[in-house]
Copies of this chain bind each other. A is one copy, B any other.
Amino acid sequence: MPELRYNRLNDFWVIISKERAKRPHDYPVEWRKEVDNIEKCPFEPGREKMTPPEVFAIREEGTQPDTPGWKVRVIPNKYPALRPDEPFYRESEDIHDKMGGFGYHEVIIDTPDHYRHVHDFSVGEIFLILSVYRERMRKLYQNKNIYYVQIFKNHGREAGKSLYHSHSQLVALPRIPKRIDTQIKQCKKYYIEKERCLLCDEIKYEVKEQTRIVYENKSFVVYTPFASAFPFEMKIIPKKHSHDFAQSTDECLTDLSEAVYVAVRKLDKLFENPPFNMILHTSPPVRDLPSDPNYFYSIDKVFHWYLEILPRMAIHAGFELGTEFFINPTPPEEAARYLREKKIEEG
């Protein structure tokens, strides 16, 4: 029987369509193929001149920028959504409001190997990529006109990936995005009422309840949220309250890498290389206070960062776009059970 569930963090409702109760083999296994053209791939070692000059890389000692020898390489996107050389302005055009297209759009090439994808990576390789996320985030927040850095990864064509070679992306924005703004507002509302963090409470409940838990290690827990908008959606979240990913220690990133390793491999085994997005949600820097002095005063107490994995096996159609209701054909409890039981090799 169907059920409507409230996603408090994001302030939307989800229809959990239990009737359809889609099991893993009810989903298509024929995903749209990505174009694998190694001859033309601009991300191959030795073709560094085909991309804009790198802004950061983890490389073997003694190797030069824009030459081979890198393990993870960061470059400006050749077709950026926003650009650092655009003016930062806010203005109106009669009844309409607009802003300048100032910002950064970078590509993080995850690996020099054309054929390795996120579900092939070792815990150590994932650690390197996450540490590059942290590095770029710290760097870009030094620019006072950057209000939020969104880091994400598109895997598979249904998830929006256009180039085969594994990469992540980063967009540094001149304003706080709506979704983060909503999350902060919701966390703040909860905190004011209860003097507790919304996500700390959620973690505590889910760990006690167990039905939606996929995996747990020393510092992280992976679970399918109660009101998941996507089938087999997972939240990877630090158990200990922490508002800012960019402040993570190496020890923390090691445990996170292990959790990502497990989550991504389980999903891959269950669906044979399904499309998904991996998205980081974290606090904006505290300096970006809206004019209301109460709004951000306790961002460090109020917000709790996490990584989400959104499998893209269902299309958002007219209903979802028209209403912002999501229909999830697999109850998260079912999804968690399948994921929990799926065996993978140890990292």
Contacts and interface: CB of A to CB of B under 8 A. Distances in A.
Interface string A163-206: 00000010101110111101000000000000000000110010
Given A97-B8, A159-B318, A317-B152, A13 B178 contact: yes
B101 A277 contact: no
Contacts of A19: 79-80, 83
B95 A201 contact: yes
A276 to B, nearest CB: 9
Contacts of A86: 1-2
A154 interface: yes
A254 B321 CA distance: 26
Interface string A1-27: 111111010011101111110000000
A325 interface: yes
Contacts of A154: 317-318
A83, A153, A279 — most chain B CB neighbours (10 Å): A279
Contacts of A2: 80-83, 86, 101
Q: How many chain copies?
A: 2
B95 A323 contact: no
Contacts of A201: 95
A171 B4 contact: no
Majority DSSP secondary structure for residues of A touching B = mixed
A259 interface: no
Contacts of A80: 2, 19
B4 A169 contact: no
The residue in A6, A32, A96, A152 that gathers the most chain B C-beta atoms within 10 A of its C-beta is: A96
B321 A177 contact: no
A316 interface: yes
Contacts of A330: none
A160 interface: yes
A318 B101 contact: no
A150 interface: yes
- The winner among A158, A173, A174 for most chain B CB atoms within 10 A is A173
Contacts of A327: 81
B277 A317 contact: yes
B318 A152 contact: yes
A54 B294 CA distance: 56
A310 to B, nearest CB: 6
A15 B278 CA distance: 21
Contact of A4 (B18, B101, B316): B101
B171 A319 contact: yes
Nearest to A230: B321
A315 B152 CA distance: 15
Contacts of A280: 322
A205 B321 contact: no
Given A148-B323, A152-B317, 10 more contacts: A1-B83, A13-B99, A19-B79, A150-B323, A153-B318, A169-B318, A177-B322, A179-B324, A280-B322, A281-B322
29 contacts: A1-B83, A1-B101, A2-B81, A3-B98, A3-B101, A5-B99, A8-B96, A12-B178, A13-B178, A15-B81, A15-B82, A15-B101, A17-B81, A20-B79, A81-B319, A96-B226, A152-B317, A152-B319, A154-B317, A157-B315, A160-B317, A160-B319, A169-B319, A173-B323, A177-B325, A180-B323, A277-B318, A279-B318, A310-B321
